[in-house]
Structure 1
Amino acid sequence: MTTITQPRPTAAKGAPAAVGAKLFNRLCAVCLTLFALIWLVPFFWAIATSLRSDGSITQKPTSPFAGGWSLRAYSYAWDTYPIGTWYLNSLVISALAVIFTVAFCSMAGFALAFLRYRGRAAVLALAAAGLMLPSEALVLPQFIEYRSFHLLGTFWALILPSVAAPIAVFVFQSFFRGIPVALIEAARIDGASWWRIYARVCMPLCRPALSTVAILTFITTWNSFLWPLLVLSQTKSQTVPVGLASLLSNTNIQYAEVMASSVLGFLPLIAVFLVFQRQIVQGVATTGIK
């Protein structure tokens, strides 16, 4: 006796869902490609302009291939301007800002996540209020404060303001709250102090958040312009963005040299992002998981 098997209706229902998922993935890929092309146009234009001569740029500014390409602007900019010193200054300031920001903001996030003390809600509200204040509103109070401490003209005037980063505090707090409470209670039962729990238990587990905060702090400190412009007065102590701005002149603008210096300025940031992009994505993704 033969039996006729009917097809399951679930397969038919699953087909439209699979087609919709493919269409959505293709739409996301198209949008991502378009945005990537839009963002790559300024980089290509800067590199192409830096490889041309000033005469060809003046005659045909919209033609990136006119006049041929050469590395003369790069050698001229490196030999004429103290770009190496600006690189060193930005690297030292950014590295120290990363170290202090990760250390202090992680301890603040740990305290807000696990410790219960009087005034905790007020501290949390003050940290949240720090997210609402634009950095430009803090320029004058910070300038008066660091002038009273005789820190103007030093690297500390650039490092210390970046340490107070409310967004970094909330990133660490969100990640610490995702750690199982049973793990913290077990460490407390074993007699571990809060400092030991922070250093030996929580910090090894929050490497994605640590990498995210470190990379974003490095990029933000490296790109900072307004505050270093006001604080650092000597040319040799300037950072890369301030030094590049000083190359512009109202009378004679050497476009190729300016673009070459700009390319040399943002190359370290591109290298840092390409090397650590996986840590950034992982840190942002895991920070949002509860």
Structure 2
Amino acid sequence: MSAAWLLPLAWAIDTSFKSETDAASPDASWLPAGGFTLDAYRTVLDQGNLPVWTLNSLIVATAVTLLTVAVSALAAYGFSRTVFRGRRVLLAITVASIMVPPQILIVPLFRQMLAMNLIDTYAAIILPQTVAPMMVFILKKFFDGIPRELEDAARIDGAGHPRVFWYIVLPLSRPILAAVAIFVFISSWNNFLWPFVSTNDPALMTLPVGLPTVKDSYGVQYAQSMAAAVLAALPLLVVFLFFQRRIVRSVATTGLGGQ
């Protein structure tokens, strides 16, 4: 199964080292007739767009991750540790919204961004992605499992909700926060539909939006497209290599692997 999963990735890497003639040839072959070449990578890098797309993806994914974790953690703490009027109704709406396909919200979100004059800005790309009901629910369930005796001891010393949240709940929730941050970052990095809809400025394109533009008057250039895709995947690969233990530990200890 692992070999079958890796086959398309291996084919993409193999295609990226072919000439455009060999890549477009109807006779599929791992070994190109003209030999391997770096022309596709040179062309993609010479265009000058890939660094801009990478920087935009990094800015958007980082901002979305920080805001989503902050908003989701605060909302989850409110549902888990406070009692207020309408709490059950709001929690039910939050859970129910998990079942709403994101594509349904494209038109109203676009109209909202348009009314706020945010189209073609980083804010238009980032803000709609920070609402993550699934992450609120996951964090809420984790916060429910934190012993309340720890909070009671802090309240005896005069701590309120802000101090309890910052000094007790968050330190004990590092594994789940790391897991949520990892999943949100990857999801935002790979998101195509909303960044594609919310901006028309080439200077604001993210990698998933910019990669389909790798073509010329002769149509799609397969070797260049695969080279750009490989380069786009490198940042996530580097992140995984550096934080492999943290990623595996977070997924294993929080149960997010089955989500």
Name the TM-score class by shorter chain.
Answer: over 0.9
Instruction: For 2:169 and 2:194, locate their aligned partners in 1 and report how far apart those are by CA, in whole Å.
Output: 34
Aligned to 2:130: 163
Question: 8 Å contact 1:171–1:287 — kept in the other structure?
Answer: no
1:277 offset after TM fit, Å? 4.0
Matches of 1:158 and 1:213, distance apart in 2: 20
Identical residues among aligned pairs (%): 41
Task: Tell me the equivalent position of 1:95.
Answer: 62
- After TM superposition, the structure 1 = structure 2 runs for residues 145-184 of structure 1, keeping only pairs within 5 Å, are 145-184=112-151
Pick from 180, 184, 192 the counterpart of residue 213 of structure 1.
Answer: 180
Mapped contact 1:89–1:239 kept (Cα < 8 A): yes
Please, which runs of 5 or more residues in structure 2 have no aligned partner?
none
1:175-254 matched pairs, under 5 angstroms? 175-248=142-215, 251-254=218-221
Instruction: Say if 2:17 is the partner of 1:51.
Output: yes
Shift of 1:174: 1.6
Alpha carbons 2:73, 2:136 under 8 Å: kept: yes
Whether the 8 Å CA contact 2:195–2:209 is kept in 1: the answer is yes
Seen in structure 2, the aligned counterparts of structure 1 residues 116 and 286 have a Cα distance that, compared at 3 Å, is farther
The code of the aligned residue for 1:245 comes to P
Q: TM-score, normalised on structure 1?
A: 0.83
| Distance in structure 1 (CA, Å) of the matches to 2:26 and 2:241 | 33
8 Å contact 2:64–2:127 — kept in the other structure? yes
Tell whether the 8 Å contact from 1:174 to 1:287 is kept in structure 2 after alignment: no
Aligned twin of 2:41: 74
Alignment correspondent of 2:97:
130
C-alpha distance in structure 2 between counterparts of 1:280 and 1:161, whole Å: 26
The alignment covers a number of residue pairs equal to: 255
For 1:106 and 1:61, the matched residues in 2 are separated by 53
RMSD: 1.8
Aligned to 1:141: 108
Q: Deviations over 1:211-265 (max 9, x none)?
A: 1111111111111111111111011111101100122468422211111011111
Q: Conserved in 1, the CA contact under 8 Å of 2:179 and 2:254?
A: no
Report what 2:240 is aligned to.
273
- Check conservation: 1:158, 1:227, Cα contact below 8 A: yes
Q: Distance in 1 between matches of 2:249 and 2:83?
A: 29
Which structure's CA Rg is the greater one? 1
TM-score (norm 2): 0.93
CA distance in 2, matches of 1:128, 1:249: 46
**Could you say which residue in structure 2 is the equivalent of 1:64?**
30
Structure 1, unmatched stretches of 5+, are 1-33
Cα distance, 1:113 vs. partner? 1.0
